[in-house]
Structure 1
Amino acid sequence: MCSEPEAGWQRPAAVSRLVAEALADPETTWTMGGFGALARFGRRRDPSVAAPADGRPGHVTAFGGIALEPAASIPVAYETAFNGGWSHAVALCLPGARCPRAGAGPIRAAGCDHGALRAQNLGDKWFDLGLDLPQGRLLLRSADPDTLAHLAVLAGRTVADTIKAVRGLMTAADVVVTTPLGRIEVFGGAPASSDGPRAFLDPKILGLGRTHAATAPIPSGLVPVAQFTPPHPCRDGAGRPRPFDPGAHATFQAVLSRWGDPELVRLKARLLAGDTVAPLAANRATRAVSRLVQVQIAAAANQDSAKSSTDTPR
């Protein structure tokens, strides 16, 4: 049901404002990469934030960093219902033609990193993991001779054949995901925090050959290259339940209205107004939006009920 991207969506100034506002929010988390291989950046737990070395839009903390040049991207805001809740996100997409796949290959030395987010990492050597990602590349970077020696031993072999060794090196080396829209770096030794910088690599998921999860309503022809997740109304940054926050909900609904799939946004508005979907018109997309409306109404109602019981004089 997803509509084709409208020409009006691609407005560089509006896109840049959207991303700048998201970058300014310490509760927002970011990912770059593909389905099965990505890096995530969050700064909720790290108040010490600096700018990237060359002044690109982004942040650098003690554990990782992000730099973005998003003006050419097409934002797609969406929500996904699941049993007992929902998730939301904004994918920064590019047309598939602008995301050429290099194809799968062996792990290989890739020279030196001249675009590092920290000045101290400029010129560090890195190795390309040879993954078949349309979104970009996943590399391991280091200045440590022992780490580089271990990476050199893996050169010429594939990630699938050396996954245990690769995952071990992903904790010692810097993990860098580079894309046409920017990069995320997870520095070696970063703690495996649920809401801080971290990297993810699963060859089995990569083997599915998908650009994104099947539940994400990305319009045909677009590839999600980066993604950000604003604060959720019912969960904190670590994914723990919290009381429904109507302000956070309203904030994302405004983003969804501007950057969501127009057809799905209109359908959701009709359902919230009391309309129903005729049985013959029901399909996967309409059923998904119907479930979403139900869980969001229930979340708001539960919060109203809890507030009423708290406010009742005893």
Structure 2
Amino acid sequence: MQHLEDVLRRGLNDPDAGWNMGSFGAIAEFHHVAGDAAPPRATALEQGTTRGAIRIDRLEGVRPVAYETLSPKTHRWTQGLSLCLPEAEAAMHRRDALTELGPDEGAIRPEDREAVLFDMGLAQPQVDFCIRTADPALLATLRAQAGRSLFEADNPAMPAILKAHPHRVALTRLGRVEVYQMIGGPETGGTSPEGPHTHVLPKLLRAGRTHSANTPIPEGWVPCAGFHPKSPVMGRLGEDKSFDEVAFEAFQSLLAAWGPEAYTAQKEQVWQALGTGTGPEAWREPDARVARAGLRNAIRQWRRRHGDSDLVAAWARAFDRGEGEADPENPGH
């Protein structure tokens, strides 16, 4: 049986792993950048670089949910481990206006603890999405606009934030992710910088959801942190790479311990059918969404592990034509 704390600690020391905290539409991510100096080895559930940091403060009551989701690219899939709490325990403050919270005494780095934290007022269920600054000019603007929505057309606070690039801090009941890098925009070529970064997507925020429908979180539970172990099919920047059997098997052990039974059972049954040379004509596509994803990813994974064949091509034509099912927060994956 996998021990969750050990799994997470190993992940914090793997430069190919990624992390996040947030909601559907407001998320802070922590990643290593190839070529950067290696951070110190994590002994607690905390890791940081000059670009950002993550700290997990609590595992009591956490339900880990391992999952694989479909990619719009039929030679890929994505994988992750969500750390979930019951809905009531996961709930944060849901402030709907810019709110000053005072000095960030819980900051991961001591030098950041006198800077002032402001809740951006995104009113998200499981995250207080904040900015942190000690810049006098930005502080004056934020304090003058406290109590207003950042999305009001005439509010000068949002332009000031985008110009000043303050730290972003995502707070959940499990801990925090801090991002020190610039906000993606004109000064970064219109894209998020490599490594730790944030996304605030108003269109997704309006949905009021805690997570993507593609992530099989059990009813009544809410993901408060995400761990993305090294992918067997993608590099750190989402580029294709040669299949990594070691990374694949490592995640399959997490999936066996904490994955949805309907998904894992469908994969095993499809692999058994492929292994015995059974064609797709005798197979019934399952009704449940999570099992259908298991069917399609089983075909993709068999192909990456064993190579192409007339048999696997027939299964793909029957059940994995590649349309739809993309995650709106990771459209290119």
Deviations 1:142-188 (A, max 9, x none): 11112212322332221332689537615621100111111010015
Tell me the equivalent position of 2:322: none
1:97 to 88, 100, 115: 88
Tell me the equivalent position of 1:301: 306
2:28–2:178 CA contact under 8 A, matched in 1: yes
1:60 aligned onto 2:59? no
Give the structure-1-normalised TM-score: 0.84
1:32 to 18, 21, 40: 21
What's the offset of the Cα at 1:101? 4.5
Cα distance in 1 for partners of 2:3, 2:97 equals 40
1:96–1:222 CA contact under 8 A, matched in 2: yes
* Secondary structure, counterpart of 2:293 in structure 1: helix
* Secondary structure, counterpart of 1:140 in structure 2: strand
Worse-superposed segment, 74-83 or 39-48: 39-48
What's the offset of the Cα at 1:241? 0.6
Deviations 1:2-60 (A, max 9, x none): xxxxxxx9xxx9221121111111110100011111100012433242589xx952112
* Secondary structure, counterpart of 2:10 in structure 1: helix
1:284 aligned onto 2:277? no
Percent identity of equivalent pairs: 32
Tell me the equivalent position of 1:166: 158
1:177 to 164, 167, 170: 170
2:181–2:196 CA contact under 8 A, matched in 1: no
Worse-superposed segment, 249-258 or 194-203: 194-203
Tell me the equivalent position of 2:98: 107
1:140 to 131, 135, 139: 131
1:76–1:260 CA contact under 8 A, matched in 2: yes
Residue identity opposite 1:94 in structure 2: L
Runs of 4+ in 1 over 6 A off after TM superposition: none
Tell me the equivalent position of 1:81: 70
Deviations 1:214-272 (A, max 9, x none): 11111111100100111111110110111111111111111111111233222221221
* Secondary structure, counterpart of 1:227 in structure 2: strand
1:49 aligned onto 2:48? no
Give the structure-2-normalised TM-score: 0.79
RMSD (Å), alpha carbons: 2.7
1:274 aligned onto 2:273? yes
1:144–1:47 Cα change, 3 Å: same
Tell me the equivalent position of 2:315: none
Tell me the equivalent position of 1:6: none
Residue identity opposite 2:11 in structure 1: A
* Secondary structure, counterpart of 2:32 in structure 1: coil
Tell me the equivalent position of 2:116: 125
1:272–1:280 Cα change, 3 Å: closer
Tell me the equivalent position of 1:254: 253
Cα distance in 2 for partners of 1:164, 1:87 equals 39
Residue identity opposite 1:207 in structure 2: R
Cα distance in 2 for partners of 1:204, 1:87 equals 23
